[in-house]
């Protein structure tokens, strides 16, 4: 059964019995640019794990020799809806983006809920989901179904700032953070949301945006043969990129 098709889904975490007792730390340490460039192996700070987009962990406790010792530690029911999410982990806390822009912070040792944020979305919005979030400094960044980029206080879940990016686009991708900037992409159709944007991580101010479709007056515009911009289609930048 594919995860994107089920109505209810539980998230289960399998740990090797000797993995240790790392858990939520009450003394929060801000995530730095150095951490993002070379993340500690026990943390997962973005959708693909690091800025290079590797997508795999460098932890080595689990091997081909002991993988059969894995056992279920805890489960937690997620919100109903479509789900394609990658949870994040920092300093023993797991951050989970549920369908309909519900964010939960849980103690990774036992699944205890530490805080929860529920986005109030317009009633007409359906099938709202995201693929992941990003962590930087003391903030957790997410894209919302109603077109906003948000920074949540990673310790409490309260909103630090929110910025409207594009209400007409499908904001299902995962942000990435580098050099103090939050980079985002989105779904794209008939020139709705066909751009990559960068925002200041401190206050949400938009710094720049770059279209992924050639605009009138730009190189490559002639390849569209005069086709109206409003009807041009392109593959959206809905996946998390890498940063060099």
Structure tokens at 53: 């987009």
CB contact at 8 A, 183 and 175 = yes
pLDDT at 18 over 70: no
Query: DSSP strand E in the chain: where?
Result: 10-15, 71-77, 88-90, 93-98, 102-107, 113-118, 134-136, 139-143, 148-153, 159-164, 176-178, 181-184, 195-200, 206-211
The reported pLDDT for the residue numbered 191 is 78
pLDDT recorded at residue 24 = 57
Q: Per the confidence metrics, is the pTM higher than 0.75?
A: yes
Indicate the SS3 state at residue 36: helix
Q: What is the pLDDT, as a whole number, of residue 25? A: 55
User: How many other C-beta atoms lie within 10 A of the C-beta of residue 27?
Assistant: 5
Residue 26 binned pLDDT confidence (cut-offs 50, 70, 90): low
| Ranges assigned E (strand) in 47-194 | 71-77, 88-90, 93-98, 102-107, 113-118, 134-136, 139-143, 148-153, 159-164, 176-178, 181-184
Q: Which two tokens stand for residue 26?
A: 């009450």
Q: What average pLDDT is seen over the chain? A: 86
Other CB atoms within a 10 A radius of the CB of residue 174 amount to 26
Give me the pLDDT at residue 118, please: 95
Assess whether pLDDT exceeds 70 at residue 15: no
Q: Residue 204: what pLDDT?
A: 97
CA distances from 128 to 133, 203, 221 (A): 15, 25, 33
Both tokens of 243, joined, read: 């940063």
Above 50 in pLDDT, residue 215? Answer: yes
Of 182-186, 197-201, 221-225, the range with the highest mean pLDDT is 197-201
Quote the pLDDT of residue 11: 42
116-173 tens-digit pLDDT = 999 998 888 888 888 899 999 999 999 998 999 999 999 999 999 999 999 888 888 8
């Amino acid at each position: 059964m594919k995860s994107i098709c089920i109505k209810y889904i539980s998230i289960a975490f399998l740990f090797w019995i000797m993995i240790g007792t790392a858990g939520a730390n009450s003394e929060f340490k801000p995530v730095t640019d150095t951490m993002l460039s070379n993340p500690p192996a026990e943390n997962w700070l973005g959708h693909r794990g690091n800025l290079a987009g590797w997508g795999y962990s460098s932890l080595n406790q689990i091997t081909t020799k002991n993988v059969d010792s894995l056992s279920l530690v805890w489960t937690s029911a997620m919100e109903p809806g479509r789900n394609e999410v990658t949870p994040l982990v920092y300093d023993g806390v797991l951050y989970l983006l549920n369908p309909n822009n519900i964010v939960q912070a849980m103690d990774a040792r036992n699944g205890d809920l530490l805080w929860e944020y529920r986005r109030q979305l317009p009633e007409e919005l359906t099938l709202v989901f995201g693929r992941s979030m990003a962590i930087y400094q003391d903030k957790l960044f997410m894209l919302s179904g109603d077109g906003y980029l948000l920074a949540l206080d990673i310790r409490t879940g309260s909103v630090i700032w929110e910025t409207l990016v594009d209400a007409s686009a499908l904001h299902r991708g995962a942000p990435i953070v580098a050099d103090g900037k939050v980079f985002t992409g989105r779904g794209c159709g008939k020139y709705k949301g066909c751009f990559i944007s960068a925002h200041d991580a401190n206050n949400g101010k938009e710094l720049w945006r770059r279209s992924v479709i050639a605009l009138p007056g730009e190189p490559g515009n002639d390849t569209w043969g005069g086709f109206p911009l409003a009807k041009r289609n392109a593959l959206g930048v809905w996946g998390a990129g890498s940063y060099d």
